Amino acid sequence: MTNTSAQGTPPSPEPAPSGPRRPALIIVFLCLADLMVVLDATIVNVALPSIRSDLDMSQGDLQWVVNIYALMFGGFLILNGRLGDLFGRKRLLLAGVVLFTVSSAVNGLATDTAVLIAGRGVQGLAGAMIAPAGLSIINTSFKDASLRTKALGAWGTIAAAGGALGLLLGGLLTASLSWHWIFFINLPVGAAVLLGSRLIPDSRVNDGDKSVDVVGAVSVTGGLLLLVLALSNGQSWGWTSARTLGTAAATAVLLAVFVVVSLRGRAPIVRFGIFRIRSLAVADLVLLMLTSGIFSMFFFSSLYLQGVLSYSPVRAGLAFLPAAIGVMVGATLAQPTVAKLGPVAVGTTGLALGAGGMLLLARLPENGSYAADLLPGLLTLSIGLGIAFVPVTLLATSGVPEQDAGLASGLYQTVQEIGGAVGLAVLSAIAVRQAAADLGDTPSPDAAAQLAAQVSGFRAAFAVGALLLLAGAVLFCALLRKRHVEAALREMTQQPAATEPVADPA
């Protein structure tokens, strides 16, 4: 199997192992590591009022408890993915687990605002080490098609269901113990991963230039940090404010420097030739649409549960349990179906089903109920997500030279993070605009009018989310052909390489 790039022939990887021992346990440990990362993106949300009261935090500082994690995680994914390729994916994974576990203990013991915010930033950095390393270990270790699909299915399930599980677990721990336990819960999980680490195989580039493009690393990391910062704060800053526009301009400059350096450099952080792999490029594009749409589901559904249906945080967390189960059901259905029908057919079906769930949510009334109005949409959407994430993850990380596995995994995780930030920013703005339009020039609207306008904004956001998922389904069908999928999966099915290169530019 060959793969060309704009920078020439990359260094050769170590010979692929015939297969890891105890693959089920390896999948469990890798997914446990990723579960910590995914949970901590949302687990603090329900606990924020308790944290604010206990530490006497300002609203601005409280916002940074959430944002600093997203900033550090999104900013360092590509760099860490590449470092894992060069210096060892298992080494990066275990370093990330240790750092994540220690920073979780520090956060749980925090009695000071600055300590908690700094600890959350370290957690985000550690998560950016764990996520690409774990995913690339799966892609370089499991050569059997069925086993690899199961491993990626489990990984995709955690990615899709982790948000709902985080809300549920955050509510339960905060109500039954205290907010400190949303961090302490990571300690036994991290210890379990470290104890099982001897089973986890390692892989890295065996030879070639291992120098790191410092300018490229600094520019892409800084650019992604500023991009996530602008997207996370654009609503509160104002999208046309000097702060937002200045941050966007600095983002553009840094990313432009990164592109120029990467195209001209000898050993760039990102070899842009990887995007000539059609299956990877399309899957990442579809993932952008998918995550842009689904993150609004958790956000607006949570607001509906607590603001409209008057659910407590714990009850709201429990209300998302069927969504987490739905994702697991969808992923379980997708794994054997991908082998029979192909990833494009399965992915398109999942995206269409998810769009249908979004459209059901777009009919929410202001005087609705959970069982009749919210639950059908949540279940339909979550099953569709579980189905879609398996083939999208498969194609976004397959057909890549082994020495670029970490890079592909870092790109996958970065697209997922940026998609969520973009989607939430755009759909929140749509919801606010729709609510304002409904109120119009009404002077001093009463509570009923304000509630109706708020729910109208939710409906508009869900409708646009459905369009994003449908756009992803159309792109999947329109841009991928059978030859692109076969080229990507040839390595998995152990077929001999044909004369057609994997990086098919057609």
pLDDT over 60 (residue 492): no
Tokens encoding 152: 């990626």
User: Which residue, 122, 31, 39, is CA-closest to 73?
Assistant: 122
The pTM assigned to this predicted structure is 0.78
- Answer with the one of 227, 244, 268 that is the final residue of a domain: 268
pLDDT over 70 (residue 373): yes
| Segment (H or E) for 271 | none
| Residue 435 placed within a domain | yes
Q: List, for residues 404-417, the tens digit of each pLDDT value.
A: 777 888 888 888 88
| Residue 501 placed within a domain | no
Q: What is the pLDDT of residue 13?
A: 45
Q: Please check whether residues 281 and 163 belong to one and the same domain.
A: yes
- CATH code of the domain covering residue 484: 1.20.1250.20
Q: Please check whether residues 282 and 178 belong to one and the same domain.
A: yes
Map residue 236 onto helix, strand or coil.
helix
Q: What is the pLDDT of residue 210?
A: 60
Q: Please check whether residues 349 and 461 belong to one and the same domain.
A: yes
Q: Please check whether residues 75 and 165 belong to one and the same domain.
A: yes
| Residue 179 placed within a domain | yes
Q: What is the pLDDT of residue 96?
A: 95
Q: Please check whether residues 70 and 106 belong to one and the same domain.
A: yes
What is the C-alpha separation between 327 and 380, in angstroms, rounded? 9
Sign of CA dihedral 223, 136, 468, 326: negative
Reported as a pLDDT band with limits 50, 70 and 90, residue 7 is very low
Reported as a pLDDT band with limits 50, 70 and 90, residue 59 is low
Q: What is the pLDDT of residue 97?
A: 95
Q: Please check whether residues 304 and 232 belong to one and the same domain.
A: no
Q: Give the burial class of 95: count Cβ atoms within 10 A of its Cβ; 0-12 exposed, 13-18 middle, 19 or more buried.
A: middle
Q: Which of 41-50, 64-73, 87-96, 298-307 has the highest mean pLDDT?
A: 87-96
Q: What percent of the chain has pLDDT above 90?
A: 27
pLDDT over 80 (residue 366): yes
Going from the C-alpha of 350 to that of each of 59, 327, 335, 347, 381, the distances in angstroms are 39, 11, 12, 5, 9
| Residue 198 placed within a domain | yes
| Residue 8 placed within a domain | no
Q: Please check whether residues 296 and 233 belong to one and the same domain.
A: no
Q: What is the pLDDT of residue 20?
A: 61
Q: What is the pLDDT of residue 64?
A: 79
- Residue matched to tokens 């599980």: 165
Q: List, for residues 481-490, the tens digit of each pLDDT value.
A: 887 777 766 6
Counted domains in the chain: 2
Q: Please check whether residues 229 and 320 belong to one and the same domain.
A: no
Considering only 46-60, 338-352, 445-459, which range has the smallest mean pLDDT? Answer: 46-60
Reported as a pLDDT band with limits 50, 70 and 90, residue 220 is confident
| Residue 161 placed within a domain | yes
Q: Please check whether residues 350 and 438 belong to one and the same domain.
A: yes
Relative orientation angle of helices 343-361 and 482-489, to the nearest 10 degrees: 110
What is the C-alpha separation between 45 and 88, in angstroms, rounded? 34
Q: Please check whether residues 278 and 427 belong to one and the same domain.
A: yes
pLDDT over 70 (residue 324): yes
What is the C-alpha separation between 325 and 150, in angstroms, rounded? 17
Q: Please check whether residues 435 and 291 belong to one and the same domain.
A: yes
| Residue 6 placed within a domain | no
Going from the C-alpha of 340 to that of each of 334, 344, 346, 440, 497, the distances in angstroms are 10, 11, 9, 53, 22
Biggest CA–CA distance in the chain, Å, is 72
Q: What is the pLDDT of residue 204?
A: 66
Q: Please check whether residues 205 and 308 belong to one and the same domain.
A: yes
- Residue matched to tokens 């708020």: 454
Dihedral angle, C-alpha 124, 126, 128, 132, nearest 10 °: -150
Query: When comparing pLDDT for 81 and 190, which is higher?
Result: 190
| Residue 505 placed within a domain | no
Q: Which domain holds residue 260?
A: 213-268
